[in-house]
Each structure stands twice: as C-alpha cells, then as structure tokens.
Amino acid sequence: MVGLGRWLRAADRCDDALQLFRKAIDKGLPDDLLFRTMWDVAVLEKKLGREPAALSLFTELASCRNAFRQSALEELAKYYEHREKNYPMALEFTRSAIELNPTEALLNRRARLERRAVSKAATQRLI
C-alpha cells in the first residue's frame, strides 16, 4: 500500500495517495516505515493546505525518536514563526532541532528568532 501510495503521490494524485498511506498506517507498519509514511502524510497534508492535520503529524513525529524528528521540529518552527508569529515557540522547536543536529540553517533560524523574540518583547513593553 505504501509503495502504491508513493506512486500515486508522484503522479500528483495526492488524495488517493493519502488514502492509501492512512490505510497502511491503520493496518500497522514496522516503525521505520511507519515514521516514513507519517512524514509522507504530513507533507502531503501541508501541500494541500490542511495545516491542522499536518501539524498534528509533525507534532507526533517530533515527540519521539525517529529519523524524521529533526525535520518535524523544523516544520513546527517554521509554522510558529511564519503563521502564528509566535517567536518564542518557534525558537523552542528550533533549539530542540539544533540539539539533534546543529545545521547552518537551524543556527541561522535560531539567531533570527532570538532577534525577533527580543524585538517583539520590547514592542509589547512600549504598548
């Protein structure tokens, strides 16, 4: 089912792919394949503009040890930075991702979020 779902995703039949991915998850998969499939579903949900569904999966992937944890933390950081403008929350997710693997992009994101968090706090004090 997962393989067919990936084929459907490549053919840009996202809803059909999601349906197969979800069935495969419900039937039970080995952990590695489960986490990969959850990641695939989350990315497709995000692509289709279904943020609540994507956020739920990204949160689940970020909460346990798996190969997609850092990427999920990064996705959560992006969401809270760009959509919610919640810089402290975005910074928390970024710091967690950095603990797993301090990439240049994450270090730059942390520096930017630290500046924004300080700036937003200063602005709120003036109000």
Note the pLDDT tens digit of each residue in 5-21.
999 999 999 999 999 99
d(CA 113, CA 84): 13
Domain boundaries, given as residue ranges, for the chain: 1-66, 68-127
Of the candidates 22, 15, 19, 17, the one whose C-alpha atom is nearest the C-alpha of residue 3 is: 17
pLDDT, one tens digit per residue, over 22-56 is 999 999 999 999 999 999 999 999 999 999 999 99
Topology at the third CATH level for domain 1-66: 1.25.40
How many residues can be counted in the chain? 127
Task: In whole angstroms, give the CA distance from residue 60 to residue 72.
Answer: 9
What's the confidence (pLDDT) of residue 124? Answer: 67
CA–CA separation, 42 vs 55, rounded Å?
A: 7
CB count within 10 Å of CB 82 equals 9
